[in-house]
Structure formats: C-alpha cells, structure tokens
Structure 1
Amino acid sequence: MSLRGGIVTLALLVACATPVFAQGYQTNFDDSTGWTFAGGANGVVWGVDGTPSSVTGGAYQSASKSLNYNNATNYNSGSTSTNSGTATSSAITVSGSNPSLTFWCNFKTETGSDDANYGYDKRTMTLTPGTGTAVTAKLGVTNFDTIVGACSAMGTWHQHTVALQSSWGTVKIQFKFDTVDEIDNSNPGWFVDTLAVSGSGSGNTGGGGNTGQLNTVQEWNFDAGIGGWAVTSSNASVTWAADGTPAAVVNGQAYKSAPNSLNYNNGTNFDASGATNNGSATSPAINLAGLTDGQITFQCNYQTESGATYDKRFVEVSTDEFATTALSVQLKSSGTASGLGDCAAMGTWHAHTLLVDPAWGAFKLRFRFDSVDGIANTYAGWFVDDVKVQAKGQVGGFIDDLLGDDNGDGPHRRACGGSVAGSPAPILGMTLAGFVLAVAALLTILRRLR
C-alpha cells in the first residue's frame, strides 16, 4: 500500500471512529436559561417554577418545574385589567433531515374560550426562522392550527410536534398568552414543559446549562414495510399491517408521514364478521444500555367506539418477550397513565412520548388492540407512525455499517455512527466489534508503511 493510500485509509478510520449523530436542543425548564419574558401585569407573568400545584394534571410534566403563565395562583391581574405576555427562546440552530419541535402542554383557562370562537384566553405559538417568514399558530382542543395539532382536554399533559425546515438555519420559539378581557381569569393558566428540537438543532438549554444531546437510536416510519416487527392476530382477516388503508380516518389520513403507517384493521375496519378480535405488533429488540434519559415517541390516530371500555389500545414494554411487562398503558381520550398523554380527538394525528429506563437493557415495544366484543367494530381502527427511540449519550459505531445489518432491524443506520439498537454497548463511540476491527486495520496499515 502506498503512503498516500495508507493516510487516506487511516483518515477514514479516524473520521468514522467519531460518532455522527443529531445534536438535539432540549430543556425541561429547570431554569429559564436562554428564554426572555415580556408583558404581563400585576405579577401575572411568564416564569419557570412548579406553581400552582392546584392545576389538574400537575404544574409540570417532568422534574419539578415548567414554563408557565400566571401569578403562582392564576392569571387574574385585577378586576378591570386584561393582560398578555410572551416567553421567547434564544435562536436555536436547525439543520439535518426532517427537523422537528416537540413540547408538552397543559392548561386551565376559561371553559370553552379557545374553542367556541377563539375569543378569550388565547394561546399561540410563533416560530421566527433565521431565513423566511414567521409563522403563528393557535392552540386549542377543536379550534387549532394544523401545524401544531390539537390540544387534549384541560388539565391533561399532552405533546405537540411541529415540523421545522432546515433551510431556516435558526428558529426562535415564542409562546404568547392573552386574556383578551378581565373576566373569569381565576384559572391556573398555561404550562409548557420538556421542549426539544431534533434534527441537528443546538442552542442554550434550561436545566442549568446543556442537558445533553438527545440522539436517535432507532426509528421506523413503515414506508418500506413492517421493518422487522412481529404481528399477531386472533382473526386472520383483521391484523396489523404497514400500509395506507383505509384512505380516510374520520377527516384525517391513514398515515402521518406518507405513504404508510402501522395500523390495525382489515383495510376498511376491524369488523371480523361480528367476532371479538385482538392483535399486537411487537418491535425488534431495543437496547439503550450505556445511555441515559431514554424515550420513545410515536404518532397516533384512531377511530373506534368512544370511551375506554371497548376497543382498547395498549402501549407495552417488556424485557422478557412479554412473559411480563415492565410497562402497560391503555391510551384514552382522558386519564391516560404514565405520562404518555391523552389521545386527541379521533381522526387527529397527535404525538405520545413514553419514558423508558436504559437500565432495562434490551427490551421490546408492543402496540396491542383489543375490540373486547364483536359489536360496533365497523370503524377504521388504530394507526401508529413515525416511531422514534431516543436517548442521551454516544450512539453507534462505524463497523456496524461496514458489516451490514446485525440484528435484522433493516436499514436504520447512518454512516459512521447511526442507530445500533440490538448491538453491543458503545465503547468510545464505537461498538466493541468495531473497536477491535479498527485496531486490527490500523495495525495492518502501520505494518505496510514500514
């Protein structure tokens, strides 16, 4: 081998030994670093704390604080005084593929005020890109802008996901609350928590500085098929599949990102000729060993009987092939446990986030549907899309990409350090196999250069 060839090969090894991953901005608002507040009146302002504790669902989604608008009790600034205020982030770098903003939201305001005519206690979000035109979206249960999605019921923590554009370069995020009038302002207010920009976003974070990088470990959008997921069904005519049917789910689509989702039905509905039916879709093994702050986000849509007694939808995690479950949560329109957040209205795509413990080691994720009975099953079913597993810490090693798919999960890797769920724990940003082979290759190069 020539000296030049050896140097090039050595450079490739060194470059690939450094993992390449999305550097996400995330804050859980342990403090207000990077945010500025304006407006308010008579003590009613945006701030970062855990008050008031009286709000249904709690004043924070994670840790002990949130970003919220009130005076620690309500947003009443006086019997004849209206008030409004803004909370604005510093510029956050946006790059990479398919960047997005996610944040958790809870609120208690004037009953029906944001849904009848959006006339009182207005909640809006404005995105100001470095290059381009600012976009303002209103938040509400039924009266909302589609870019931010629907809110769940008052007193329920729920997550919003907003698509960003890497061409923006940077983005500033602003939340604004406006009472509009001075009537019925003795409610707790608006609460925002666990805000993140994925893709290659970066910026000042709360929580006393940089909270770490939230990296994508594994993801599925089901556009190329089921992707290694195992499905079961009690009735062969109704089962889980990766496709785009039925075409309509109430007024929404069968997918969040075209053209497919993972969904439970027979292509039209989940009626099994009047029989009770159930089925599950189970992921390949996921391993977050050596990482921290694991979470799984996914997009959800559904059309079933209303209520929680029939047509049940479960999200489950197991470390022993579901002999037992480390977590099993039924998704509902209200009262969903474990911080997953309630479902939005039927036919409306919305996001859920599931916190997972890397100490579990290898585990699997399962979506399970149970009709419970054979009555009123002529609805579209349940739809899941854009499943993403994320954690903080170094992810990946370049040898995985050279050797190919080692765990049967399909093409979810990025060159020089992509998704490695199911692979050995990383060592210095590489898998153990990658480290050993890299050293061997380096020694071979050095011998040939002698």
Structure 2
Amino acid sequence: MGLLARTGLDRFNPAQGGARGMRIAATGLLVAMAAVYLLARSQEAAGPAFWGYVRAFAEAAMVGGLADWFAVTALFRHPLGLPIPHTAIIPRNKDRIGGALATFLRDNFLIPTVVARRMRRVDVAAAAGRFLAQPPSGEGRLREGASRLIATILESLDDDRLGGMVKGAVVARLKALDIAPLLGQSLRAAIAEDRHVPLLDSIITWAGRTLAANEAMIRDMVHNRAGAVMRWTGLDERLANAIVDGLYKLLSEMADDPAHPLRAKAEEGLATLALDLQYDPAMREKVARLKAEIIASPAVGAWIDGLWQQARDGLLRATRDPQAAMAGRFGEALRQLGETLQQDARLRATINQFARRAAVGAVAAYGDAIVRLVSDTIRGWDAQTVTDRLESAVGRDLQYIRINGTVVGGLVGVTIHAANAWL
C-alpha cells in the first residue's frame, strides 16, 4: 500500500462506493430475472401465451447477464475462484500491460519530432508574460507551493558545492571575457562625447591635494640633494619654493584652461590608449595578465563569495515570502518583464524557441529513462491491490455492461421466441 500511495493509485478510492452500488444493482437485476423466469415457467403451461414471452425474456436475460458477469469478472480474477484458462487477465499480464503502456508512451509522446510539433503550438513566453504581468487571484496556493518547493530545494542543496559551482561559473565567465576591447571602446566613446573631461578634472584635483599633502617631502628632497654652498646661502629653500609654486601654478592653469597644452597631451594619450586597447596585441595581452592577477587575488574571491551569499539569501527571502517579494522592486521588475514578454514579439519567439529546444532535448536525453521508469514501476506494483484499485476506478462502467447484457439478452430472447411462434 505504501508503494501505491507513492504512485497515486490510492486516489481511486472515491469511486469504490459507486462501483459497489452498480455491482449490487447488476446482481439484483440478474436475481430478479431468475425469479421472473421461475414465475413464468410455473404459469406458462396453464396460462396464456403471454407467459411464454416473459419466460423467453427472463431466460435470455439470465444468459446475457451471466455471460457478461463472466467476461467482466475474468478481466480481474478467476470467476468463482476456478482457474479457468484466459481469466484473471489483468493480474496475469500486469508486466506485459506495463511494457505496452511504456511503449505506447514512447512511440506516441516521447519522440523529439512529436514534442517539437506540439511545442510549436504552445506560446510559453506569452503565458509566462500574462502570469507575471497580472498574476491570477486564484494562484496564491500555487505560488506559495512553488515558493516552498524552491526554498526547500535551495536549502537542501549542499551550499559549498552549489556555491562552488556558481562561483566557478562566474570566474570562468570573467576569465573568458576579453576585457581590453571593451575598455577601449568605452574610452573612445567617452572621449567622443567629452565624458572624459570630469575624469581629467578629478585627476588634476587629486594631483593638487597630493602636492599639498607632500609639500614638506618635496622641500626635504631639494634640501638633501642640494650642495653645501646652496644650503649655506639658502638657495635650496628658494629652489624648493620655486618648484612647489610652479607645480601649483601649472595645476591651477590646467584646471582653469580647458585648452591647456598638457590637457591636450593627456587627451591625446587617452585616445592612443583607447586604440591600443582595441587593436594592439601587446596591450591586450598586458590587460589580460592584469585581469588574471586581479581575478586570482583573495579580495576578488571574497567579493564573489559575498555576491553568492547575497544572491542565495535574497532568493530564500523571496521564496519564503512571495507576497512581499512581489510587492517590492523585485515584483515590479517581474511585472515589467511580463509586459515586455507580451509586447516584444522577437523576445517571445526567442524564448519559445529556447523552450522548444529544451523540451526536445529533455525528451531525447531522458525519454528512454522515463519509459523504463513507467515499465519498472508497474512491474513493482502488487497485482491484487492494483486489480482492486483499477476495478474500483472503472467498475461502474463495467457493471453497466452487465446490466446492458441482461437487458439486450432478454430482448434477443423475446425476438427469437416470437419468431418461433409466428413461423
């Protein structure tokens, strides 16, 4: 019974009461025909010819009812417990039925061409867009159930292993990224739109602050490198003042004059750097080495670890409280995504194509495994219990067959009796 509970066959129990009632009705009709037959047989000799028709109807009805009872019973068990050949068909052929069902499933459903043809008629992207843009009010239980399932899966997975896979994928993606051309294109676009000017201004401001912070060090350097005569005459201090004042003046002029020659030289250098980043193999190799060193540094590793933990914690919070998640920025982003899916035909076509390929790929990769699962599961079922469950599920219709056989048999008997009486 535990296996049946896992496979879902115990859900057939609600139909058992209806099948039992129809079995009682069919059996009662058969008993009633037997009583009518006995009554008609006792009245036929001395009574009117009407009793002959009644006897013929009841006699043929008993034959038809008994024949259909035998046929229906033989599907599931041996009639009266007798080992009659070709009876108890379902218990004896349970494994063969399972194999035939699995073959039918494989030949009619789990074929890549069939799945692809059916998936072409399914607009997955539009359905997802409608659900995200305007979630139905009756989907609360579905959403909560899906959220609990996702949260359970996330919590049950090995955090170190899953996190290692995610972080490994991020690192591999960063390593595969050729960043030098991207930097060159971004720098070139910034220069073309004068978006580099604030950068130069910031560099000049930073240089002024650095000079002010290290003014004493510059004076000490001039004093230490000056000769004894210059120190004795005080020329070293005058030279240091001239150097510091000249640097301050240069930085001030560069800050005030956008057309300053040094600023033009800096812009020229930035333009050259943008070209080298895009087209110079040596520069691109240098940037690649620098990128590799940065990725291998412990600081970047800790940063990626933090990103993974934040993403995992955010997903868990969202799945534990889907209503709050849908009410915040995440929910607004999902609703915007749903509206985009409904409006953008090209995006829908791309997502539907991906869904179709994923379904076809899953069938191609796991179709045989699904077929084996169905076949092996049916083979593992208990024959008697499965028989009882299936009989309860379809028993109502089977008892109708017995009732119909009784009535039709009676009508055929009356017809034959009338033909004999008239001819």
Q: Would you call these one fold, judging by a TM-score over 0.5?
A: no
Higher relative contact order (CA 8 A, sep 6+): 2
**Higher fraction of helix:** 2
Q: TM-score, normalised by structure 1?
A: 0.16
More strand by share: 1
Higher CA-based Rg: 2
